[in-house]
Structure 1
Amino acid sequence: MLSSTPKRFFLIIFIFFALIFIGFYLHITNGMFDMSVFDVARTLLGYESNEKFKLVIFDFRLPRIIIAALVGIGLAMAGVVLQGITKNGLADPGILGINAGAGAAIVIFMYFFQFQALLSDGSDWIIIMAMPIFGFVGGTAAAILIFTFALKDGRLDMQRLILTGIAINSGFGALSMYISLKMNEKDFESAAVWQAGSIYNANWIFILAMLPWIVILGFYLYKKAYLLDYFQLKENIIVGLGIQLEKEKIVMLLASVGLVSACVSVSGSIGFIGLMAPHIAKQLVGIQHKYVMPVSVLTGAGLLIFSDFIAKTVFAPSELAVGIVVSIIGIPYFLYLLVKAK
């Protein structure tokens, strides 16, 4: 693992921005309706008169790319915080069951408020804006259950944490399936695609629904990133430094649950981003979280943009759920980390 310097850090940030720009270019110019760079530029600048170009870019592709980036940012940042709090490199919102808890709450929400709200043209924007709140309730419930059962003699037991997370994940997954089966046929089909992790129904209302959560909670967690360095020390040393250990952990955990809930509310359950992004970042810039968090954020955004591009093009005209593509990448990576940790 490398230690980082400001010069190295900014070089890596530049490289990631370049990669994300490439992903943006590929995503916005390719699909069922291919467009040239010139067409895209004219449309984005408002010089294009072709209404078809405007429809494809502003109603379909651009919201989808933005949501992919925001979801990647939120899940990656939550992964950094969870790994820092638990001192466990295998911690991830999906593996620990927080995704499943938020997802179950949102499925219940969709059942009572009708799934068509997700597919609307924005007329039901109040319902869509409320979805992250329901996700937050479910994610918080999952986190409380996980950390309650993982405590041993007042401390988190890492083996219990993973095992409890798997159990909670399965339990909330079963609840989501049970509620889904009570939906009508059309809604069940849409809910099943959503649960697999999909952003192909992206629109600007979804972006407005999740953006405040990502901006406010993301800024807060970045300001607190230095604490994650201290959390790697022994608890008596942390307390001796005057840090309110348990209070800070709880607040940062709740902020992470809020990020995950906002992401799940618009994209369904996408796993492994919160696992892979922090590890990739640490390999590149070392273990100081003031460097790890920004690089993780860009890694998560890039991974999800490229994964969504693959999901929409590899089997065109059919589409894969982006969660499936991420899992194809993430499962071998998780097994690699498991063997390495052993």
Structure 2
Amino acid sequence: MDKRVASSIARAWIVAAVTIAVMLIGVYLSLTSGMFDISVLDVFRTLFNPGQVHEHDMVVFRFRLPRIVLAVLVGAALGIAGVVIQGVTRNGLADPGILGINAGAGMSVVLFMLLVQGSIKLTGWAGVMLRPMFGLIGGLLATILIYLFARERGKLDPQRLILVGIAIASGFGSITLYLSLKMNPNDFEMATVWLAGSIYSANWKFVVAMLPWLIMIPPILWLKARSLDVLQLGEEMAGGVGVATEREKKILLACTIGLVSASVAVSGSVGFVGLIAPHMARRLVGHSHRYILPISGLIGAAMVVLADYIGKTIFAPAELAVGVVISIIGVPYFVYLLLRAKR
């Protein structure tokens, strides 16, 4: 094995180990801290020998553990989706939220909540499993609009992509607001909290709704890592080495929409994870998407777990949505990237 390849693999494993350690710290804090503190020993007793203390069982299995697992899944999905979006567009400022994919998926889910609220309980299995499918429709619609308006001479123009994405996100955001105003007060409050990017109502049904997307899509994207690497050379050169660029981009974007839509369906619009995590991964492990994809997923998972812990403790007993916490970090980082891009 080439020394540089061996060095890259070793570096990726070290970064992965450190990121997992950081995430586990967040998991530890989230499991043991809150309105009802539990010691580490009691947590382990509850996990491996449930049924001893009813209060511990309820706090760990009903409230904290599904919330942590959902945070990991959502963060990983958004981190991976951000890598693909930036790779396909060759634009380091691209992000599912900035491009309007989050907004499109969110609009569809709010429409679903409005139309079926009276006939299908959103906490039931039917409602939970249907929400990602509605989100997928909205994400596809947003992507189609991006393709229509950001293409120039048959090719996607990275310079126009951000402006088009912001416009599409604003349009879908307006539609979402209009739909939410049609809801009754209780549903409107639920929709507003959800749209801010919150996982406070997480349960095992939401986790099950997310799992199929995380099981199926990331392996496909990892197998397409070479295509992402080649796309960075430009469409003409990528085509010259035998890559069917348009077909590959459609597959990659379809997978991305699936991940984003499933995330939005269970957690609302958690922005900036797909922007920050890929940049951090690229700095840590280089430019090979074979390493960037898993590392960005781990960084995204750690970000959401830690942000959720901060959101539920900093203003306790009130809670700050995880999307708001990440946005507080993400907006300055986005401005920094914009300024750096001008140099």
* Alignment partner, residue 98 of structure 2: 95
* Alignment equivalent of 1:16, drawn from 8, 15, 19: 19
Structure 1 residue 96, shift from structure 2 partner: 0.3
Aligned-partner residue type, residue 316 of structure 1:
A
* Alignment partner, residue 70 of structure 1: 73
Structure 1 residue 47, shift from structure 2 partner: 4.9
Q: Does the 8 Å contact 2:50/2:57 carry over to 1?
A: no
Matches within 5 A, 1:237-248: 237-248=237-248
Structure 1 residue 268, shift from structure 2 partner: 0.2
* Alignment partner, residue 81 of structure 1: 84
Count matched residues: 337
Structure 1 residue 234, shift from structure 2 partner: 2.6
* Alignment partner, residue 331 of structure 1: 331
- Which sections of structure 1, spanning at least 5 residues, go unmatched? none
Matches within 5 A, 1:93-172: 93-114=96-117, 117-118=121-122, 120=123, 124-172=124-172
Task: Name the Cα RMSD after superposition.
Answer: 1.4
Aligned-partner residue type, residue 204 of structure 2:
W
Query: Does 2:45 correspond to 1:42?
Result: yes
Q: Does the 8 Å contact 1:43/1:53 carry over to 2?
A: yes
Aligned-partner residue type, residue 218 of structure 2:
G
Tell me the TM-score normalised to structure 1 length.
0.96
What is the aligned-residue identity percentage?
Answer: 54
In 2, Cα distance between equivalents of 1:117 and 1:30: 31
Matches within 5 A, 1:244-323: 244-323=244-323
Structure 1 residue 236, shift from structure 2 partner: 2.2
In 2, Cα distance between equivalents of 1:252 and 1:47: 42
In 2, Cα distance between equivalents of 1:135 and 1:333: 27
SS in 2 for 1:201: coil
Structure 1 residue 110, shift from structure 2 partner: 0.4
* Alignment equivalent of 2:8, drawn from 5, 9, 12: 5
Which shifted more, 79-88 or 8-17? 8-17
In 2, Cα distance between equivalents of 1:137 and 1:187: 22
In 1, Cα distance between equivalents of 2:17 and 2:61: 27
Q: Does the 8 Å contact 1:39/1:48 carry over to 2?
A: no
Q: Does the 8 Å contact 2:105/2:264 carry over to 1?
A: yes
Residue-by-residue CA offset, 1:177-208 (whole Å, 9 max, x unaligned) = 00000000111011100000100000000111
Aligned-partner residue type, residue 189 of structure 1:
E
